[in-house]
Amino acid sequence: MPIKKIAILGSTGSIGLSTLQVVQKLKPSFQIVGLTAYQNIQVLARQIKAFKPKLAAVMDEGLVANLKNMVKGTSTKIRGGQEGVVAVAGESGADLVLSAIVGAAGLKPTLTAIQKGKDIALANKETMVMAGEVVTKAARKSGSKILPVDSEHCAVFQCLVGSAPESIYKILLTASGGPFRNLNRKRFNKITLKQALNHPTWRMGPKITIDSATLMNKGLEVIEAHYLFHVPFGKIDIIIHPESIVHSMVEYIDGSVLAQLGTTDMQIPIQYAMTYPSRQKAPVARLDLTMIRQLNFQKPDRAKFPCVDLAYEAGKKGGTYPAVLNAANEIAVSRFLKGDISFVQIPKIIDKVLAKYRPLTNGTLDGILNADLWARTEARSIY
Amino acid sequence: MPIKKIAILGSTGSIGLSTLQVVQKLKPSFQIVGLTAYQNIQVLARQIKAFKPKLAAVMDEGLVANLKNMVKGTSTKIRGGQEGVVAVAGESGADLVLSAIVGAAGLKPTLTAIQKGKDIALANKETMVMAGEVVTKAARKSGSKILPVDSEHCAVFQCLVGSAPESIYKILLTASGGPFRNLNRKRFNKITLKQALNHPTWRMGPKITIDSATLMNKGLEVIEAHYLFHVPFGKIDIIIHPESIVHSMVEYIDGSVLAQLGTTDMQIPIQYAMTYPSRQKAPVARLDLTMIRQLNFQKPDRAKFPCVDLAYEAGKKGGTYPAVLNAANEIAVSRFLKGDISFVQIPKIIDKVLAKYRPLTNGTLDGILNADLWARTEARSIY
């Protein structure tokens, strides 16, 4: 296998760090040519020294001088701002761009990489949620392959290998159900931030951990799956599976169901996206079902978790609605993380923003970004 | 899709009947051109009238005249004896031969079909167990594709689509554990025929139901998997899964596990073998994991079920040993079904026959058939 050149957008976050661990393990098959971070220049500088990328960028332009100082003597070129991040995506010479920036900020650089025909390992689900139509159209045009890194979509992707789209009966996205799966609905008023940040099975960043607690994470994944796999919303279901061992499933028209299972280690889907279509040996903790003994499944309680229905509704409406959903959710979650609103106010804010929204465009990139901005302003002003 | 012509060897047994139901459902994609039965000419005659094959054969030659009489007026040619069954396999004009004869009797006709380059839907696991090397060599030479119909091997086959052989870490064959999974070993002496025939999850013929109760069925499947998928015995494991929903799994070198799930309906794997590589919509009962709620897994108790170790040992020795294992087991099971020996004597007989066996050849077809005969005689004479 020739050396694959990789750029990581968001290399200091949870997924970025795991990706660098995979690169470390699979040396010399991979080479890092680009890295970006939002503000964490301490970690970024260490990564630059270790992996010697051609280009690196820090989103916060005020930190460019500091970063340059920290990596003096390396040959890495340092850039700043969104323009810098977009440059890493498009101009670092990567074969594969791992898109792991959290939230809407990942859209523009990811789309740039797609337009330049780079293959994408997509961990930034907002790209697909906000701009699924724009992104898939651009990928078709440039020939860019989009390889999902989300454990659920990576599972579906693996279950679909070699299958014709018309043979899909249903995509079944599994959800741990989060920390409040068994909590009585009446006690949702009293949920604390600490409780919400305590995910039962996965260790992840704070934003996605809250999204898991509200099940909005699964709602966003439904929209992502719709665009990634070109399957209508009526054929995408959510199934609660507290152990997070079955990462998702595909049910076929002949009654067969294929499932992908594994330990809750993001290095597995990250590596699959990196080595696809082949697989490479990895020193990961192996799944032993005889130790786990039991896998449980149940229907999601949509009354307890209104974010699921909100996501399906926005997804079915299409156009700029998913972007509005996503932006309202980002603001609501960041307000909850700051202690500004309560847990149950998260879906209420999103619901109010969606109800008030009147789309002006049918989903061009500018229209999407405007809708995103509008929804953020609205979501900040409620409560 | 052009019409696929199908011959069924063993059309009046459990798998044969299910196959005809699938053909009925998927009309007009399939056409029956050949049918065979052992002795059940009542059912065979009805099938001949309904499906109008070109050729049909009854193994018991004494019944040929009767059968001819019963289907007078149809254009189906009737043959008898093994020669007749072999003729249906090779000369009925089939594109796909479904091999569903129970036991060693299926070997010769199946091998004939393979040598003639027919694709095989293989439900007769004895073909692979007895003559795995001969059969796979013949298939390579003729270009015949062997599509497994056993639910476990069909599951593995589906989990392997698009994968390189070197990416397999382990094949995990699931086993219900049979009716005696939770029975204390001390009470195995008292197992009755009725108890052994009461399989918890699958409805099957008597021979395979007893094999499920002793776990020899899984042992034979390990040997079958070894030859079908060219995987060493050290990479094939058995895992007890009482619900029989996960039909088997493949663990890959990167830590990913793919599993195939479905209801316990043999029409699903039969249809997959018939429509492969595509899938067709089927009016089957759909799997609903939220109704099943729980899937359990545990290690097999090899002390309680010595047939597992016997099968691994015979498989690893290779050559004619698997044929001896299989023949001794067939006789032991038929003696148990007749009330001649007890349940715990089944593995003891097989063990004694294997211990006494001294191979003369390294596995030509004649050598295999001689070893088979020798083992049968031995197995009849113990106890």
Q: What are A177-194's pLDDT values in tens digits?
A: 999 999 999 999 999 999
- The predicted-structure confidence for B178-233, as pLDDT tens digits, reads as follows 999 999 999 999 999 999 998 777 777 899 899 999 999 999 999 999 999 999 99
Q: Which of B204, B180, B175, B200 is nearest to B344 (CA)?
A: B180
Report DSSP state, residue A3: P
% of chain B beyond a pLDDT of 70: 99
Has residue A201 got a pLDDT over 80? no
Reference B173, options B274, B297, B272, B317; nearest CA is B297
Residue with tokens 């397999």: B168
Distance from CA of A171 to the nearest CA of B (A): 13
Tokens of A88: 């890493």
Task: Tell whether B195 is within 8 A of chain A (Cβ).
Answer: no
Contacts of A254 in chain B (CB under 8 A): 268, 271-272, 275, 279-282, 284
Query: A344 pLDDT exceeds 70?
Result: yes
- Cα angle B101, B104, B106; round to 5: 35
Span A323-331, mean pLDDT?
97
pLDDT digits (tens, 9 = 90+) for B264-282: 999 999 999 999 999 999 8
Spatial separation of the C-alpha atoms in residues A227 and A125, rounded to whole Å: 11
Give pLDDT tens digits for B124-170.
888 999 999 999 999 999 999 999 999 999 999 999 999 999 999 99
Determine the Cα–Cα distance for residues B12 and B18; give it in Å rounded to an integer: 9
CB proximity A268 to B under 8 Å: yes
pLDDT, position A203 = 73
Q: What is the pLDDT of residue A37?
A: 98
Lowest mean pLDDT among A164-173, B72-81, B279-288: B279-288
The mean-pLDDT minimum among A67-76, A193-202, B199-208 falls in B199-208
B293 → closest Cβ in A284, A293, A296: A296
Spatial CA neighbour of B321 closest among B378, B379, B368, B381: B368
Q: Nearest residue on chain B to A285, judged by CA atoms?
A: B255
On whether any CB of chain A is under 8 Å from the CB of B263, the answer is yes
Predicted TM-score (pTM) of this structure: 0.95
Q: What is the ipTM of this complex?
A: 0.95
Beta bridge partner(s), residue B80: B58
pLDDT of residue B204: 76
Task: Tell whether the model's pLDDT for residue A381 goes beyond 70.
Answer: yes
Q: Is the pLDDT of residue A324 over 70?
A: yes
Q: Which residues pair with B9 in a beta bridge?
A: B36, B99
Q: Say whether pLDDT at B1 is over 70.
A: no
- In this prediction, residue A222 carries a pLDDT of 98
Is the predicted pLDDT of residue B92 greater than 90, yes or no?
yes
| Closest among B103, B123, B117 to B19, alpha carbons compared | B123
Residue A104's pLDDT is what? 80
pLDDT band per the 50, 70, 90 thresholds, residue A1: low
Give B137 or A200, the one with higher predicted confidence: B137
**CA–CA dist B322, A89 (Å, integer):** 58
Which positions in chain A touch B293 (Cβ < 8 Å)?
296-298
Cα–Cα distance for residue pair A174/A171, rounded to 1 Å: 10
**How many C-beta atoms surround the C-beta of residue B293 within 10 A?**
12
pLDDT at A363 over 70: yes
Question: Which residues, numbered 134 to 173 in chain A, qualify as contacts with chain B under a Cβ-Cβ cut-off of 8 Å?
Answer: 158-159, 161-164, 167, 169, 172
Residue B102 pLDDT > 90, yes or no?
Answer: no
Per-residue model confidence (pLDDT) at position B383? 87
Of the listed ranges A119-123, A281-285, B51-55, B90-94, the one predicted with least confidence: A281-285
Mean pLDDT over all residues of chain A? 95
**Chain A, 64-123: which have a CB under 8 Å from a chain B CB?**
none
Helix (H/G/I), strand (E/B), else coil: B155:
helix
Predicted pLDDT of residue B124: 87
For B258, the enclosing helix (H) or strand (E) is strand B257-261
Average pLDDT of the residues of chain B: 95
Asked, as a colleague might, if the bond just before A165 is cis with ω within 30 of 0, I would say no
Residues of chain A above pLDDT 70, percent = 99
Look at residue A78 in the predicted model and tell me its pLDDT.
98
